[in-house]
Homo-oligomer: A and B are copies of this chain.
C-alpha cells in the first residue's frame, strides 16, 4: 500500500530545477573522486525523529500529523515501518538507524518488550528485503523510561545496570540480525545532576565495565559491526560523561577500550560543547577514531539540542573535507539525526526536510572534493609547516634534540620571522568554491 500517492521517487533534476520535490545536487550514481556520491554519503534515516517523534517540546504536546496516530501497539509500529520504508525508498536513502524502542512498543515487562521486538524485527526484515534498504546502526534507548532516571550503566542502582545490560544485549542481537554495520552507544542519562549526591569515580568505572562487557558480548556472538560512542556535553543531564570527542577518547584510553570503539560525531552535540562540527570530526580523525556522523545542525544562539535538518553549506563542506581526508566514512554513514521543526507538521515536510539535508551534503561533497583535489589549501598548509621538514624542525620531529640543543639554537636566532595566517583570504577562497 502506497501512502504518499502524490509523491513519486525523488529524482535528480539539477540546479536549475524549481521542483521542491527534486534533488538539485544529490545525484546518487554520479562519480565523485572515483566512487558514486551515495557511497561517499551513505545517508541514513533516523527512525526516531522521522517516525516516532511527535513534535512535542517542554512547553507543548505533539503537533505532527501522522497517519499512525490513530493506531496503537504493533499495528502502529507496522504502519510506521511501512511508511518509513516508502519514504526512504522514494528519497533514495539506503540506510536507517534505530533504537530498540523506536521499532516496537515497550510492553509491560522485559519479556514482552523482547517479544515485540522480535516480531517487529521480522517485519522490518521483510521490508528490507523488498526494498534493499540496509541498517546502518542500531542502539538501545536506555534513557526515556523512569527506571533510568539516575542513569543506566551509571545508575546508583545495580538493578538498573543489569536491566540496561539486558537491553543492550538484545539490541545488539537485533542489530546483528538486521545486518547493522555499526552499534551506537549514546549515554542518554550517563552523567549527573549534582556532585552533592554523585560518586563520579564509581559511575565512570561502571561505564567502563559496561562498555567492556559489550566488547566481550560482541565477540561472543560474532557481531562484526563497528562499536561507536556518541559524545554530548549536557542535556538531559547537567553533565554528560561523554562530553566531547577528546573526553571520550581519553576515557577509552583510560579503560583500555581504544581499539574497540570509534566515535559517532553529531553536529549539534559539537556546538553544545562549544566546538565546531569540523573540530570534532578533525579530532576524531587525527586519532583514527572517526566512525560515523549524525548529520544535523543546532542553533548556536540556543542552548539546547535543536536537531535541525542540516542546511548550512559551510558546515557541510568542512565536514566532507574531514570525511574525504579520512578516506571515507564507511562502515559509518551520514545519519540524519534531524527532526522537522514543530511547526513543520505536515507529512510532506518530511520530504522537503530530507531533500534539504541531502542536497546540502551533496553540494558539500562536491565542493569539498573540488577543494581537496585542487590542493590549493593543502599546498598552503604544507608551506606553512615546511620548517618541520628540514633543519631544526626535522630534528624536533624526529626527537633528535632536547631543550639544551634548542636553547643553543635559539640563542643564535635574531628576530624570528613569522608569516601571516591569511585567514580572511582563506575564508574568501572558501566562499568562491561555494558560490561557483
Contacts and interface: CB of A to CB of B under 8 A. Distances in A.
A359 B428 contact: yes
Given A58-B57, A165-B407, A341 B421 contact: yes
A423 B196 contact: yes
Interface stretch (A33-41, A124-132, A249-257): A249-257
A50 interface: no
Contacts of A213: 402-403, 406
A349 B20 contact: no
B216 A416 contact: no
A166 B404 CA distance: 7
A304 interface: yes
Q: 7 tightest CB-CB pairs across the interface, nearest first?
A: A303-B303, A250-B250, A158-B393, A343-B421, A356-B428, A165-B406, A166-B410
Looking at chain A, what size class is its interface with the partner chain?
35 or more
A398 to B, nearest CB: 10
Contacts of A314: 312
Specify the main secondary structure of chain A where it touches its partner: helix
A387 B156 CA distance: 7
A304 B235 contact: yes
A161 interface: yes
A283 B420 contact: no
Contacts of A216: 402-403
Interface in A18-61: 20, 24-25, 55, 57-61
A413 to B, nearest CB: 6
Copies in the complex: 4
A434 interface: yes
Contacts of A122: none
Contacts of A343: 149-150, 193, 420-421, 423
A9 interface: no
A5 interface: no
Contacts of A311: 424, 427-428, 430-431
15 contacts: A147-B416, A150-B421, A158-B396, A159-B410, A159-B416, A195-B278, A196-B430, A197-B422, A202-B397, A234-B274, A234-B301, A249-B250, A300-B300, A343-B421, A349-B422
Interface string A184-201: 000011000111111111
